[in-house]
Structure 1
Amino acid sequence: MLNISNNNRIGETIEKYSTFKTLSDRPHYKVLNKIIGGVSLFGLLILFLPWTQNISGSGAVTTLKPDQRPQTIHSAIAGRIEKWYVKEGDFVKKGDTILFISETKEDYLDPNLVKNTESQLKAKEMAGQSYGGKVVSLEGQIEAIRNERQLKLQQAQNKIRQAILKVKSDSMDLVAVRTQIKIATTQFNRSLALNKEGLKPMTDVEEKRLKLQETEAKIITQENKLLASENELINAKVEVNRIIAEYNEKEQKASSDRFTALSSQYDTEAQVNKLKNQYTNYQIRNGMYYIKAPQSGYVNRALQSGIGETIKEGTQIVSIMPAKYDIAVETFVSATDLPLLHKGEKVRIWFDGWPTIVFSGWPNLSYGTFGGKIVAIENFISDNGKFRVLIAPDENEEAWPKQISIGSGAQTLALLDNVPVWFEIWRTLNGFPPNYYQPKNSTQKDKK
């Protein structure tokens, strides 16, 4: 600095002032210095104390199993409210009637709909049985036709064999007659020659001529018999073909009637099954007029009210809270903290409305917190932009309060690695995530 002024105060100190002299003589000044030094030393020691890294989350109390959570009862069919059997706050057992509704659709307004459908079903079943009897009768008729055809064929084949034998007999007779003609001719010629020589009388010649003529007459008759036998053989063969054609026609007609009866029987069975389906549906629908409790619980709220109000299919009627449930906590964590969580990890929880004193870095010093363990981690982001984690009570620690209700708020701390306090301060100031680590159990499994 420039020495422009004569007032040079470079060598001056504050020790020349009386106030400083009196201040240094005060006893509490030394005490204050000791306190400041002690606090600084204590703060320095705190920086080296162990600090438990954690992941905080907020959520609500829920149930461990989906069927234990509050549910709404819906109407499976459309109808009109006729009578209420419960009121809000009532305890209902499984199967108790909550509400009765009446029918509004015109297809089901008939009070005798189930009875009439049952009558139609019985009539169709009887028709099906009749067709079945007709099929059995036609099958018997077909069997009788086949048996009769077999007998007729055997009879015709016997006639063929008889005709064949008769043809053979007649042909042999014809050969015999022809032989007789040759013999008679030879005898006649011999008698005639002997007569000319005077050795035989004329009467003997006449007898031989008469016998020859009789034999020639026999051959014509025998040829006629042979032709007649051959015609009988041909007629017998034709009769076989006629029998086969006749009975085939009868069998085909009976088979056609049988297939027609079978088609009618199957069509009737299809109609019977359809009527059975309708009959069962009508019976089940009649049971849906009484809306019943699916499980034991308390009626929280009636979502519909009044008498005569019309409701549609799927309309919410009442909400029920199950009487027995396993309590749990669902909490939500950010995407950066999700890789640090694993199933089975310990979690500290405190509930809204329950007195608590929480030290996030020293969970053993906290008061009013309860132990839990992670049982499920959702892998898909929720509507609030975070990931859902389900926590169940830890059996090795104090039981959760019975006074907490489903839906009340809860805060959670997932305990991670132990680090010094200075490291946690440094990590927080720099915005680094907690140390990535794997639980000991999972690490041992990976090594195995």
Structure 2
Amino acid sequence: MLNITPHNSDDKKQYDKRFGTLNTLNTPSEAKKVARVLIIIMVLFCVVLFLPWQQNIRARGEITALTPKDRPQKIQCPIDGTIAKWNVQEGQHVDSGQVLLTISEIKDKYIDPDMILRLEEGILAKGKAISAKEDKVSAKQRQLEALKAGLKIKLKQFDNKIEQSILKIEGDSIAWEASKVDLKNADRQFKANQELYNKGLISLTKLETFKSKYQQNVSKEVSSRTKLEMARNEYQNAILGKNAARNEVLDKIAKTDSELSTTLSDIADSDAALAKARNELSSMEIRAGMRVIRAPQKGIVVQALNSGIGENVKSGEALLTLVPDQPHLAAAIFVKTMDVPLIEEGRHVRLRFDGWPSIQFSGWPSVSVGTFGGKVEVVDFMNQSDGTFRVLITQDPKEKDEDWPEELRMGTGVFGWVMLEEVPIWYELWRQINGFPPSLKDYKGGKDAKK
């Protein structure tokens, strides 16, 4: 052994002075500590890389209502008019049907306060006119029935007269034939007696007797023929009279029927005018009800869009805003188009409301503080004007999280994390660095998820 290592302090100082470069080859103790810490950190980092991480989609939004009837609505003016009276003030609770304000008419057509009474009087007058025309129709119908019955009787009379004329013609025809036979016999007897007188076999007195008898038969034959012609004329006159009577009565029937049709047409026009008047009356009564604007449902008056008395308003113009009472709240968040396919109904969501302090670990929702749970209720099928899609989130009654604050109001800002699948942290870092979308797997909580 060379025994060159110093054994006392003086020797060591001499040793360090002569061999100082050898000291640089030794490892400092502080460096060893740092190395150990770095190694521990690397080991912990590697361990952390394999811890589970909850993927999520982040989006901002606001508090709204799930159903349209629960959302703030603008109460519009149904008619043109002027504000006559305000019955409520901002912040006031109102019940369904409560009067909010009253509108006065400004149009000349509706400004008469007795307009409804005038219309009722007009309707009553039209009703009486229609009743009178209906009575006239009844009278015309009875007149038609009387004319038709009279025509039947008159035609029956002429039929009887024609039948009598026919019988008389037959009797006169037989009498005429008999008179002709008598005349022929009288003529033959007169001529025979004339020859006997010429021969002097009979006296002139007897000849005169046969001559007188012959003259009587001639007169009788002429009279029978005349009666037959008169009976025939009476038959023709009866036929002509029957036709004339029929035509006369038919003319009266046609005239009465025409008057009846005219009256029925007048009644139809009056009915149309009456229906129009009733429609106008109904419209006026409805319009009169529109002058009083009532609350459609229970809620709170939050903003009056018009003010003052006597201010003119137009039909369809918004007068005030009404927030329904105790609405079914929902959080509406707006997600990007690329994230919409990853969101399904029933997905769990963590929410942070403006005004409620919270600490959110998006990857580990179980350790979050001050956030509230929810579930995806609706995913819109149409994008907004800025290209985002609205997602409605409601409180999940199955979750054991704290209930949403009762102080939440419409329009309160909200930030949401839609929870997706669990992946290792290294995968999430790798996905973020490469800009890949989150993992998409079959979600069992959706309504339409397949087993």
TM-score range, shorter chain: 0.7 to 0.9
Q: How far off is 1:236 after superposition?
A: 0.8
> Does the 8 Å CA contact 2:442/2:449 hold for their aligned counterparts?
no
2:172 match: 170
CA distance in 2, matches of 1:150, 1:293: 72
Q: How far off is 1:368 after superposition?
A: 3.0
Q: 1:434 aligns with which of 432, 435, 438?
A: 438
CA distance in 2, matches of 1:97, 1:393: 34
> Number of residues paired by the alignment?
430
Code of the residue aligned with 2:423 in structure 1: it is: V
> Does the 8 Å CA contact 2:61/2:413 hold for their aligned counterparts?
yes
Deviations, residues 319-374 of structure 1 (Å, cap 9, x unaligned):
22111211111111111111222333332222222232222223333333333222
Q: How far off is 1:237 after superposition?
A: 0.9
Are 1:356 and 2:341 counterparts?
no
Q: Matched residues, percent identical?
A: 38
> Does the 8 Å CA contact 2:344/2:446 hold for their aligned counterparts?
no
2:12 match: none
Distance 1:306 1:188, change over 3 A: same
1:232 match: 234
Higher mean C-alpha displacement, 37-46 vs 61-70:
37-46
Q: Secondary structure at the match of 1:140?
A: helix
Q: 1:315 aligns with which of 302, 317, 322?
A: 317
Q: Secondary structure at the match of 1:433?
A: coil
TM-score (norm 2): 0.86
> Does the 8 Å CA contact 2:49/2:425 hold for their aligned counterparts?
yes
Q: 1:124 aligns with which of 99, 123, 126?
A: 126
List aligned pairs for 1:223-262, cutoff 5 A. Answer: 223-262=225-264
Q: How far off is 1:41 after superposition?
A: 2.4
Q: Secondary structure at the match of 2:439?
A: coil
CA distance in 1, matches of 2:342, 2:171: 116
1:278 match: 280
C-alpha RMSD of matched pairs (Å)? 2.9
> Does the 8 Å CA contact 2:172/2:228 hold for their aligned counterparts?
yes
Q: Secondary structure at the match of 2:338?
A: coil
Distance 1:161 1:17, change over 3 A: farther
List aligned pairs for 1:341-380, cutoff 5 A. Answer: 341-380=343-382
1:12 match: none
1:425 match: 429
> Does the 8 Å CA contact 2:444/2:450 hold for their aligned counterparts?
no
2:404 match: 400
1:390 match: 392
TM-score (norm 1): 0.86
1:5 match: none
List aligned pairs for 1:22-33, cutoff 5 A. Answer: 22-23=27-28, 26=29, 29-33=31-35
Code of the residue aligned with 2:387 in structure 1: it is: G
CA distance in 2, matches of 1:302, 1:202: 144
2:57 match: 55
CA distance in 1, matches of 2:405, 2:31: 52
Code of the residue aligned with 1:305 in structure 2: it is: S
Q: How far off is 1:204 after superposition?
A: 6.7
CA distance in 2, matches of 1:329, 1:444: 22
Distance 1:121 1:138, change over 3 A: same
1:42 match: 44
Deviations, residues 147-196 of structure 1 (Å, cap 9, x unaligned):
11121112112211221222122222222323333444555667778889
Distance 1:444 1:68, change over 3 A: closer
CA distance in 1, matches of 2:250, 2:435: 99
Distance 1:406 1:441, change over 3 A: closer
2:16 match: none
2:224 match: 222
Deviations, residues 269-295 of structure 1 (Å, cap 9, x unaligned):
222222222222222222223222111
CA distance in 2, matches of 1:319, 1:132: 55
Code of the residue aligned with 2:392 in structure 1: it is: L
Distance 1:441 1:197, change over 3 A: farther
1:18 match: 23
CA distance in 2, matches of 1:441, 1:160: 105
List aligned pairs for 1:409-424, cutoff 5 A. Answer: 409-424=413-428
Q: Secondary structure at the match of 1:336?
A: helix
> Does the 8 Å CA contact 2:345/2:447 hold for their aligned counterparts?
no
CA distance in 1, matches of 2:244, 2:163: 17
Distance 1:180 1:381, change over 3 A: same
Deviations, residues 194-229 of structure 1 (Å, cap 9, x unaligned):
889999888776655544443332221111111111
Higher mean C-alpha displacement, 201-210 vs 59-68:
201-210
CA distance in 1, matches of 2:44, 2:61: 37
